[in-house]
Structure 1
Amino acid sequence: MTLTHLLYRSSGRIEHFQGDCDAILAAARVRNAAMSLTGFLHAEDGIFVQWLEGPKPLLDQVVDDILADTRHRDITVFGRGPITKRQFPSWAMGYSNGHQAPLFDWLAERETNSHDLRGYADSLHQFLLLRAA
């Protein structure tokens, strides 16, 4: 079985952000458990950052759904491809928000440059891993 991952950031609908976040999280936990997908979602200030992982054919189905979901705008994919092992094996869908752990403060403290896409993606990945620990 080939494992693959997706790391993306998207803008949410500000006027519906908390409701959308709650709905996305609830649906993802049920769907991911049924499809052997794992991952972590962070939601803050109208921004979603998510890492998903699992068997490639199943993950590809979910990715297509995310890309078509009108609750997500300005989707930026930072990484997508094969992985050798799961990064979030215990989480059907882990979750944090800016009240629990401010992403933007974390990025600023590390002087993460958003123009360096590889470095920015690595920082996002590390942030999510720390939230899941």
Structure 2
Amino acid sequence: MSLFRAVYSSRPFGYDAGMLNGILTDARRANLRDGITGALICRADIYLQWLEGPEDMVRAAIARIRRDDRHLEVTLHIEEPLAERVFGDWDMLHDPAATWIWTQKEVTDGAIDRATPDEITGFFFKLRDATAAAEGRG
């Protein structure tokens, strides 16, 4: 089975802890069912998510996200084959502090529109490595 990854950003609509918990619960359930792993960096002004798994399942997940009224302005930044899973240990790793991305002012000023795929990917590698180290995996 070939692996595929997609990385998107969106703007939260009605962001609060309850909504975030709902998104994480829904994502983890669907991802477990569909063989998808990934990571979500989120806060009140931005969601940035990495999904990896079978291409048809990742594309179906993106389609569901586009229909989800909790996400506004869904923008795909990366869609490509993947040699191996980066987040294979997590159905949906979550960075509650959103520590690896731009400031709120930078987001407001359009940082996501200027970001390169390497910059976006770098956020996720930092999150993975820090989480693995904290969990004794790295």
Structure 2 residue 78 is the aligned partner of structure 1 residue 79: yes
User: Which amino acid is 1:53 matched to?
Assistant: E
**Cα contact 1:44–1:102 (8 A) shared by 2:** no
Structure 2 residue 20 is the aligned partner of structure 1 residue 25: no
> Pairwise CA RMSD of aligned residues?
2.2
Residue 104 of structure 1: aligned partner: 102
**Cα contact 2:8–2:75 (8 A) shared by 1:** yes
Residue 8 of structure 1: aligned partner: 8
Q: CA deviation at 1:116?
A: 4.2
- Per-residue CA shift, 1:64-102, capped at 9, x if unaligned? 101111111122211011101001000011111227x36
Q: Percent identity?
A: 26
**Cα contact 1:44–1:103 (8 A) shared by 2:** no
> CA 1:17 to 1:80, structure 2 compared with 1: closer, same or farther past 3 Å?
farther
User: Which amino acid is 2:33 matched to?
Assistant: A
Structure 2 residue 55 is the aligned partner of structure 1 residue 64: no
**Cα contact 1:40–1:132 (8 A) shared by 2:** no
- Per-residue CA shift, 1:13-69, capped at 9, x if unaligned? 1x3432221111001111111111100111113311110100111111111101111
Q: CA deviation at 1:5?
A: 0.7
Structure 1 residue runs without a partner (length 5+): none
| 3-state SS of 1:51 partner | strand
Structure 2 residue runs without a partner (length 5+): 133-138
Q: CA deviation at 1:117?
A: 2.6
TM-score normalised by the chain length of structure 2: 0.78
> CA 1:118 to 1:93, structure 2 compared with 1: closer, same or farther past 3 Å?
closer
Distance 2:121 2:51 in 1: 15
